[in-house]
Every structure is written in C-alpha cells, then in structure tokens.
Amino acid sequence: MNKFLWAILNKAISLGANLQRRGLATGMNCTRCQEQETEMHCFFTCHFAMEVWKLIPLHRTVHLAVGATFKDAIVSFRKHICLPPSGISLNILPWILWEIWTSRNALIFEGRRYSPEETALKGIKLAKEWSTSQAEFTKKGILPSEKQVWHAPRPPSSSDNTKTTCKTDAAWSKEKLLAGLGWIFSGSTLRTPITGSAVEASVKSPLVAEAVAIRAALCMATNLEITSIEVLSDNQTLVRAISGITQAKEIIGIVKDIRSIASEFASSSFSFIPRSQNSTADALAKEALRFSSVYLL
C-alpha cells in the first residue's frame, strides 16, 4: 500500500491527467463522468468515489476544500479512524483508495461495473483483515518483517532480449533535506532510452536518497509495463542491502518496498556500477534538485 500511495503522489499511475502529461491524447477523461481524471477526481470528487466514501463508517467526516491536492487529502485523513464495531483500528484510507482504483480498472479493461456499495465493502474487508493480522503479530511480539524472508526473482540470463537496464542515482541537499532523483531505462525493447526525474522531501541522508531513487524508478518501470529489469546503482551499500547481504537500518522500510515492487517483474536483479558509468542518471538527479522549486509537490 505504501508503494501505491507513493505512485499516486508521484503521478506514476495511469490516470488520464498523467497520460496527457506524457503526450497521449486519447482516453484522458474519467470513464464514469467524462471529467478530467486527476488524482483528486478519481479518488475523492468523482460522483462514484463520493458515494463510496459516504458508506465508510468514519468517526468524523473529512472535509476536503475545493482545489485541495492529493497530498492534502492524505494529511486530512491521517487521524481519522472507523467507528466501532468495524474492527478497524488503522487508517482505512489506503484500502478504500485501492478498491476505488481496482473498480475503475475493472470498468475500463473488463467492462465490469462494481457498485459503490460493493467497492466500499471490499475496502472495509481488506482493512479489517490487515488490522486483525497486525494485532495478532503484536500479541505474539513479532513484527511481520521478521517472518518474511525475501527471495530475489530469478535474474535474467545474458540471452534475454527483453531485459531492460535501469541506471539510477540521487543528489542530496543536507541543508534542505531534499533529494533529486534520476533514472534512465535502456534496452532492446525500447526505441530510445527513457529518462525520468523527481524530487523527494524530508530525505535524511544520501543513502536514503539513493534508495528512494531505485524505488521511484521501479514504480515507473511497472507503469511502463517493463517485465524484465536490471537495476544498476553506484551505491554499493544499497545494492548489498537490497540483495540481503547486509542491513542498513535507515533504509529497511524502503528496501522492503523495493523488494515488493521487484517481485512483480518476471525477472529482476540489482548490481553495482562505478560512478563513471552512471553519468546520465547523476546529471538528471542533480538537475531535479537544482530546480526543486518546480518539481516539488
């Protein structure tokens, strides 16, 4: 769910407005009401989403101002919990957003139309299951991460012509705790290399910045429907942490996200490259940081 929220915030999901920003000119509007399909419209202001939210038993109604951003909405929902006896002790927001998204995709790609009631019920059920599982782990004194052992997907063979290479890098500002992220995809399945960049706030160290860059690149790779990927980074500590060779406390959560996203590919691998071979991603990251006032959400 962290990955899903991150993808929405960084405009890495296939909403109409995001596709339009990338130069695609068809199918840009909401399938249900033909309004512009932005993050706020899809998840909160579309008549379908509004009907779903009316069915969620929140302790207090969340009021979203006209013109509010998706980030504002997340902040507004942060302290809102469900009324008893729902059995949900955690923030229900991610689960409802997920069900609204899957209902939207079912309508577009399968022609299946779920009602607001069905969507709300499925979201509540998912949230309740997650809340119950977390309570069980707490009773046993075991964190979920202690029981989960990550096994890397099978690395692609050298003869795999569908493999895409992704080089990532980050630039970090100690004074502002900002990070510029950069990545470049290349491979035989791409007509030309695809570059990307972003800015991340509240980044506490260069290592965290490098980890966030890989996570961002992987999210973009899934959005581009890349199936086989080789991620290259010039930060050896990070590569070793992702590979499970060592642990770095400050990036444990991000590494978990990276492994989760990586499991969605048919094959994936993470390798170290010298900084001299990573100049393009480095330049993209530095440029993103330099123009952070433009890119920052």
Mean pLDDT is lowest, of 37-46, 126-135, 142-151, 233-242, for 142-151
Q: What pLDDT digit, counting tens, does each position of 92-140 carry?
A: 888 899 999 999 988 887 888 999 999 999 988 888 887 776 655 444 4
CB-based contact 95:132 (threshold 8 Å): no
Q: What is the mean pLDDT of residues 272-293?
A: 89
Superfamily the domain 163-295 falls into: Ribonuclease H-like superfamily/Ribonuclease H (3.30.420.10)
Cβ–Cβ < 8 Å for 177, 201: yes
CA atoms within 13 A on the CB side of 263: 10
CATH 3.30.420.10 intervals, the chain = 163-295
Residue 63 is predicted with a pLDDT of 65
Tokens 């509240």 sit on residue: 202
The CA-CA-CA angle for residues 110, 194, 262, to 5°, reads 60
Distance CA 90, CA 135 (A): 10
DSSP string, 27-88: S-B-TTT-SB--HHIIIIISHHHHHHHHTS-BSSPPP--TT--HHHHHHHHTT--BPTTS--
